[in-house]
Amino acid sequence: MIEVDIIISNGLVLTIDENETVIENGAIAIDGENIIAVGKSEEIKARYISRKSIDATNHMIMPGLINSHTHAAMTCFRGIADDIELMDWLNDYIFPAEAKNVNVELAFWGSLLACAEMIKSGTTTFCDMYIFEDETAKAAKEAGMRCLLGEVLFDFPSPNFKTPAEGLEYTRMLIEKWADDPLVNIMVEPHSLYTCSSSLLIDAKSLADQYKVPIATHFLENKGEAKQLRKKLGKRATNFLKDINYLDERFFAFHCVCMDEEDIKIFADSGCKVVHNPESNMKLASGVAPISSMLDHGIVVGLGTDGCASNNNLDMLQEMDTAAKLEKVERLDPTVMSAHTVTHMATCNGARVLGMENLAGSLKAGMKADIIAIDLNKPHLTPMYNSYSHLVYAVNGSDVTTVIINGKIVMKDRRLLTINEAEVMKRVKEIALGIKKSLGIG
Amino acid sequence: MIEVDIIISNGLVLTIDENETVIENGAIAIDGENIIAVGKSEEIKARYISRKSIDATNHMIMPGLINSHTHAAMTCFRGIADDIELMDWLNDYIFPAEAKNVNVELAFWGSLLACAEMIKSGTTTFCDMYIFEDETAKAAKEAGMRCLLGEVLFDFPSPNFKTPAEGLEYTRMLIEKWADDPLVNIMVEPHSLYTCSSSLLIDAKSLADQYKVPIATHFLENKGEAKQLRKKLGKRATNFLKDINYLDERFFAFHCVCMDEEDIKIFADSGCKVVHNPESNMKLASGVAPISSMLDHGIVVGLGTDGCASNNNLDMLQEMDTAAKLEKVERLDPTVMSAHTVTHMATCNGARVLGMENLAGSLKAGMKADIIAIDLNKPHLTPMYNSYSHLVYAVNGSDVTTVIINGKIVMKDRRLLTINEAEVMKRVKEIALGIKKSLGIG
């Protein structure tokens, strides 16, 4: 008998491995940070003995979800302005609110609240772009979440830096500071082609190349941006990115609503990846990204919630449901974007987008133990015919009961073990009072 | 001091009354089936004393949600066939599964499971169309839910009747049997214009007129149906309905995806109402109903989840979120279908569709006490800037803690008081085993 730290047993295991193995009455042995074995409960229990055991009877066990694009600290602005024009939303609410209120305190507590919300809805890894990302890194570290973070870079001053050069230096500091962390990973994140000069974009890419870290940006989010870029750049935005050497396997782009077939071919040929944000694209009336075509061309697509000011939650299970349904109605074809495809976007393909395919996104020996358990013994989950369709079309974030990240149990029976939930809510409520006062609302 | 049965106090009360009154630290006094008073907690407590009291600190209190179109017993077929063509879905899965399995047992237990799911996600009233509706009525009665039910009528035999005449007689029996019930209301529900002959449609309307009950049908759900009806009827389907005298204030239609401006004008002129089913329309790739135009023309629109085989849940709060986002992205306008509009569709306007505007859908003295409480003290609901947008874009079904219907507490702190949750899940799982066997799956 081999001794391990944790055995989870008696669950329906969706491995999301190469063979789509689904194991009834399955178990997982975990030691340290790693998955040691996945198999039938009886086999695992015959070979391993554990210090802790988790009974997953009536539960689905699967890889933790990967939120491939968010702005975590924007939980503080959740629902601050809805149902209004995008430019009014940005200029009258979001930008003034950020300019007046974003500081290290907001960044830390907003990010920690986001971690609480993400863990409670089954997310174990997130990719973040915002201001004062060192605070987000500290929050993720405290919460025990895996992440890939980048300071948002643009031409104008941010609450964290006066010049783009300072923003790049801050990013370099983050890369070096967190280089050996088991959970926190750093990347380079220029905000967009319409807020960054060519020289900033080129410098950002150099930095990413120097440290061999990923680089990503908002890209072709809506028609207005597409039109503006055409005029500003004098060429197809995708070709502009190609000309400044962005398009390689370490580059990915958020939203990509207005990509056409030519853009998609260029991305596919370059090995670039895409993050789909259907709920944000719907709520801001940006449009529907051509995801089926991207998938047909072999582009790896992940899924993200975007920030809380444009969603207004971080629930990946709801995002998965919406992603599937939106694509079907947009293409008028119920067979596109199957539950299976969407599940991959939120797990193994999200991991590929973030360059974490050897760490997370599927359950097999040698991977990090990022695992969630979902309680199936509920009226809205009864009966069950197909585990994938159940996951996408019926399961909610609140059905997740237990979450393990990097071998550590961070939620058990819906109780957070790494975050003081009451404290973080209290702090963010206080911050929100200040935001209201600064904007003269509420 | 006036003695009443229940006082709910210390909550944020969304009345959804004519003035959109929102009361901070509000309370509601309930006696028997009725709301006696709504106001500030201190005012209510100064005037009334209650036998039971519910502390709604950190909760939103609002009218129970109204699911204006579902097929409750189809919970038994939840997720039985997803991501496939509509006609394959119907002909290879749904129709054979129904023909082989639908009986009084399935109708009762499936409906009772639906009631459990609906109550647990804040729905207090539902409008149902299915087979053996007497069983659905019994289940709703047992659960303590308000409902408007009709036996599905079509030309071919159903598990419950051999001929359309028998279906009409069954409906007449239901109308008379449940005439004086405080919760169960009966209507007439011909399935659609493509499954019902003109004579069945005319007889159905006569029956509805004789008893002055509502009548409703599936209508122009997708392009295929629209094309088929044009050919079958030789005229605009809306004009056909007009010619057989359907179009009046007691008529409403489900889906209405393929209505054009002319159809909308005819409906608006006649006072007919519409039920929007966005998630089902998305999942089956039916299309997007022109809801903004209907609202602009003054049509009263309610919201429904449709059945569990095409959604795959009965969660109205998720449906509200999707309704708002889908309309925005379809019209490429973030200002359409505001949180406010959607909330009305799920409450007061749903009540108008079902002819219950004097009973349900808003909180004011004299209305029946159909009330839900939503726990706001959660990470994904922190902070809050706007109660309506919070409700639509952030609240989930599982945030509902307490539900009162017709003055009776049916759920307290998420524990169902009228339904044995374990028993109903057990029975439906057994029924599902039989369904799997009958179809040779699983």
- Residue A56's nearest CA partner among A316, A385, A413 is A413
d(CA B27, CA B41) in angstroms, rounded, equals 5
The two tokens of residue B65 are: 């949600």
- Residue B213's nearest CA partner among B130, B127, B145, B132 is B127
- With CA atoms as reference, the chain B residue closest to A421 would be B379
Residue B428 lies in a domain: no
DSSP code string of A91-139 = IIIIHHHHHHH-SHHHHHHHHHHHHHHHHHTTEEEEEEEESSHHHHHHH
Q: Nearest CA to CA, how far is B433 from chain A (Å)?
A: 9
Interaxial angle between packed helices A104-120 and A133-143, expressed in degrees from 0 to 180 and rounded to the nearest 10: 40
Contacts of A332 in chain B (CB under 8 A): 223, 285, 287
The two tokens of residue B13 are: 């009360």
- With CA atoms as reference, the chain B residue closest to A282 would be B329
Determine what percent of chain B is predicted with pLDDT higher than 70.
100
pTM of the model: 0.98
Residue range A327-365, pLDDT digits in tens = 999 999 999 999 999 999 999 999 999 999 999 999 999
DSSP code string of B172-229 = HHHHHHTTT-SSEEE-BEE--TTTS-HHHHHHHHHHHHHHT--EEEEE--SHHHHHHH
For residue B272, what are the contacts with CB-CB under 8 A and spacing of at least 6? Answer: B246, B247, B248, B249, B251, B252, B253, B299
Contacts of B139 in chain A (CB under 8 A): none
Interaxial angle between packed helices B104-120 and B421-439, expressed in degrees from 0 to 180 and rounded to the nearest 10: 130
Contacts of B400 in chain A (CB under 8 A): none
d(CA B35, CA B367) in angstroms, rounded, equals 6
Residue range A308-330, pLDDT digits in tens = 989 999 999 999 999 999 999 99
Tell me how crowded residue B102 is: count the other CB atoms within 10 A of its CB.
22
d(CA A168, CA A189) in angstroms, rounded, equals 10
Residue B419 lies in a domain: no
Helix, strand or coil, per DSSP, at residue A233: helix
Residue B438 lies in a domain: no
Local structure of residue A250 (DSSP, 8 states): T
If asked whether residues B376 and B298 sit together in one domain, one would say: no
Interface test with A, best of B222, B328, B380, B411 (most A CBs within 10 A): B380
Q: Nearest CA to CA, how far is B76 from chain A (Å)?
A: 6
- With CA atoms as reference, the chain B residue closest to A223 would be B332
Strands B2-14 and B400-405: what pairing? unpaired
The two tokens of residue B160 are: 């419950």
Residue A338 lies in a domain: yes
Is the CB of B312 less than 8 angstroms away from the CB of A421? no
According to the model, what pLDDT value does residue A208 have?
A: 98
Q: What is the mean pLDDT of residues B345-354?
A: 98
If asked whether residues A36 and A153 sit together in one domain, one would say: no
d(CA B102, CA A311) in angstroms, rounded, equals 40
d(CA A118, CA B262) in angstroms, rounded, equals 47
Q: Nearest CA to CA, how far is B29 from chain A (Å)?
A: 28
- Residue B29's nearest CA partner among B11, B60, B3 is B3
d(CA B383, CA B114) in angstroms, rounded, equals 32
Q: Nearest CA to CA, how far is A2 from chain B (Å)?
A: 35
Contacts of A94 in chain B (CB under 8 A): none
Q: Nearest CA to CA, how far is A373 from chain B (Å)?
A: 17
Q: Nearest CA to CA, how far is B116 from chain A (Å)?
A: 6
If asked whether residues B79 and B35 sit together in one domain, one would say: no
- Residue A6's nearest CA partner among A45, A64, A42, A40 is A45
According to the model, what pLDDT value does residue B28 have?
A: 98
Is the CB of B441 less than 8 angstroms away from the CB of A385? yes
Interaxial angle between packed helices A339-346 and A316-331, expressed in degrees from 0 to 180 and rounded to the nearest 10: 140
According to the model, what pLDDT value does residue A340 have?
A: 97
Contacts of B282 in chain A (CB under 8 A): 325-326, 328-329
- With CA atoms as reference, the chain A residue closest to B118 would be A380
Backbone dihedral region for residue A406 (phi beyond 0: left; psi -120 to 50: alpha; all else: beta): left
The two tokens of residue B20 are: 């959109």
d(CA A173, CA A132) in angstroms, rounded, equals 12
> For residue A390, what is the enclosing H or E element?
helix A387-393
Task: Kindly give the residue spans of alpha helices, DSSP state H, lying in B271-313.
Answer: 278-283, 291-296
Is the CB of A288 less than 8 angstroms away from the CB of B329? yes
Task: Say which residue the tokens 């178990």 belong to.
Answer: A27
Contacts of A322 in chain B (CB under 8 A): 322, 325
If asked whether residues B129 and B259 sit together in one domain, one would say: yes
Helix, strand or coil, per DSSP, at residue B5: strand
Residues belonging to chain A: 442
pLDDT at A442 over 70: no
For residue A396, what are the contacts with CB-CB under 8 A and spacing of at least 6? Answer: A121, A315, A317, A318, A380, B315, B318, B396, B397, B398
Contacts of B421 in chain A (CB under 8 A): 379
Residue range A386-432, pLDDT digits in tens = 999 999 999 999 999 999 999 999 999 999 999 999 999 999 999 99
If asked whether residues A106 and A47 sit together in one domain, one would say: no
pLDDT at B86 over 80: no
Residue range A98-146, pLDDT digits in tens = 999 999 999 999 999 999 999 999 999 999 999 999 999 999 999 999 9
Interface test with B, best of A22, A58, A74, A78 (most B CBs within 10 A): A78
Q: Do A207 and A201 meet the contact criterion of CB atoms below 8 Å apart?
A: no
Is the CB of A329 less than 8 angstroms away from the CB of B390? no
A120, HSE (Cβ side, Cα atoms, 13 Å) = 24
If asked whether residues B55 and B71 sit together in one domain, one would say: no
Boundaries of domain holding A346: 65-353
Radius of gyration (C-alpha) of chain B in whole angstroms: 21
The residues pairing with A158 across neighbouring beta strands, listed in sequence order, are A161
The two tokens of residue A289 are: 């990204």
The two tokens of residue B378 are: 């959660």
Is the CB of A396 less than 8 angstroms away from the CB of B398? yes
CA angle centred on A425, ends A374 and B404, rounded to 5°: 65
The two tokens of residue A433 are: 């009072």
Is the CB of A285 less than 8 angstroms away from the CB of B314? no
The two tokens of residue A2 are: 């081999």
Helix, strand or coil, per DSSP, at residue B379: helix
How much is the ipTM here?
0.97
pLDDT band at B442 (very low <50, low <70, confident <90, very high): low
d(CA A120, CA A400) in angstroms, rounded, equals 7
**What's the mean per-residue pLDDT of chain A?**
97
CATH of the domain at B123: 3.20.20.140
**What's the mean per-residue pLDDT of chain B?**
97
Q: Do B56 and B373 meet the contact criterion of CB atoms below 8 Å apart?
A: yes
Contacts of A428 in chain B (CB under 8 A): 382-383
According to the model, what pLDDT value does residue A104 have?
A: 98
Amino acid at A157: P
pLDDT band at A441 (very low <50, low <70, confident <90, very high): confident
Helix, strand or coil, per DSSP, at residue B124: strand
Is the CB of B83 less than 8 angstroms away from the CB of A279? no
Is the CB of A379 less than 8 angstroms away from the CB of B338? no
Q: What is the mean pLDDT of residues A214-233?
A: 96
Q: Total structural domains in chain A? A: 2
If asked whether residues B8 and B126 sit together in one domain, one would say: no
Local structure of residue B92 (DSSP, 8 states): I
Q: Do A226 and A253 meet the contact criterion of CB atoms below 8 Å apart?
A: no
Contacts of B226 in chain A (CB under 8 A): none
Residue A435 lies in a domain: no
Residue range B109-131, pLDDT digits in tens = 999 999 999 999 999 999 999 99
If asked whether residues B54 and B121 sit together in one domain, one would say: no
Preceding amide of B214 cis, omega within 30: no
Residue B360 lies in a domain: no
- With CA atoms as reference, the chain B residue closest to A383 would be B429
Is the CB of A425 less than 8 angstroms away from the CB of B377? yes
Q: What is the mean pLDDT of residues B148-175?
A: 97
If asked whether residues A38 and A151 sit together in one domain, one would say: no
- Across the interface, of A329, A380, A390, the residue whose CB is closest to B281 is A329
Helix, strand or coil, per DSSP, at residue A280: helix
d(CA A336, CA A329) in angstroms, rounded, equals 9
Residue range B253-299, pLDDT digits in tens = 999 999 999 999 999 999 999 999 999 999 999 999 999 999 999 99
- With CA atoms as reference, the chain B residue closest to A398 would be B398
Is the CB of B312 less than 8 angstroms away from the CB of A389? yes
According to the model, what pLDDT value does residue B92 have?
A: 86
Preceding amide of A278 cis, omega within 30: no
> Maximum Cα–Cα distance for chain A, whole Å?
67
Tell me how crowded residue A249 is: count the other CB atoms within 10 A of its CB.
13
Q: Nearest CA to CA, how far is A383 from chain B (Å)?
A: 5
Residue B40 lies in a domain: yes
d(CA B11, CA B251) in angstroms, rounded, equals 37
d(CA A198, CA A206) in angstroms, rounded, equals 12
Is the CB of A283 less than 8 angstroms away from the CB of B86? no
How many A/B residue pairs have CB atoms within 8 Å? 211
- Across the interface, of B311, B382, B428, the residue whose CB is closest to A429 is B382
Q: Nearest CA to CA, how far is B35 from chain A (Å)?
A: 29
Interface test with A, best of B77, B329, B332 (most A CBs within 10 A): B329
The two tokens of residue A230 are: 């055409």
- Across the interface, of A117, A120, A334, the residue whose CB is closest to B283 is A334
- With CA atoms as reference, the chain B residue closest to A89 would be B334
- Give first-to-last CA distance, chain B, whole Å: 62
The two tokens of residue B260 are: 């054009």
pLDDT band at A90 (very low <50, low <70, confident <90, very high): confident
The residues pairing with B128 across neighbouring beta strands, listed in sequence order, are B70, B149
Q: What is the mean pLDDT of residues A368-385?
A: 98
Q: Nearest CA to CA, how far is B164 from chain A (Å)?
A: 31
According to the model, what pLDDT value does residue B169 have?
A: 98
Residue range B169-199, pLDDT digits in tens = 999 999 999 999 999 999 999 999 999 999 9
pLDDT at B155 over 70: yes
> For residue B401, what is the enclosing H or E element?
strand B400-405
Backbone angles phi, psi at A385, to 5 degrees: -110, -40
According to the model, what pLDDT value does residue A221 have?
A: 96
Strands B146-153 and B189-190: what pairing? parallel
Q: Do A334 and A304 meet the contact criterion of CB atoms below 8 Å apart?
A: no
Helix, strand or coil, per DSSP, at residue B253: strand
Tell me how crowded residue B165 is: count the other CB atoms within 10 A of its CB.
11
Distance of CA A309 to the CA centre of its chain: 15
Q: Nearest CA to CA, how far is B267 from chain A (Å)?
A: 25
DSSP code string of A10-31 = EEEEE---TT--EEEEEEEEEE
Q: Do B57 and B92 meet the contact criterion of CB atoms below 8 Å apart?
A: no
CATH of the domain at A392: 2.30.40.10
If asked whether residues B234 and B321 sit together in one domain, one would say: yes
Residue B358 lies in a domain: no
Contacts of A340 in chain B (CB under 8 A): 83
Q: Do B307 and B97 meet the contact criterion of CB atoms below 8 Å apart?
A: no
- Across the interface, of A285, A332, A379, the residue whose CB is closest to B333 is A285
Contacts of B285 in chain A (CB under 8 A): 328-329, 331-334
Is the CB of A285 less than 8 angstroms away from the CB of B328? yes
Q: Do B370 and B63 meet the contact criterion of CB atoms below 8 Å apart?
A: yes
pLDDT band at B89 (very low <50, low <70, confident <90, very high): confident
Is the CB of B315 less than 8 angstroms away from the CB of A396? yes
> For residue B302, what is the enclosing H or E element?
strand B301-303
If asked whether residues A343 and A289 sit together in one domain, one would say: yes
Which has more pLDDT, B362 or A97? B362
Q: What is the mean pLDDT of residues A56-71?
A: 98
If asked whether residues A34 and A154 sit together in one domain, one would say: no
> Maximum Cα–Cα distance for chain B, whole Å?
67
According to the model, what pLDDT value does residue A93 have?
A: 87
- Across the interface, of A385, A397, A428, the residue whose CB is closest to B80 is A385
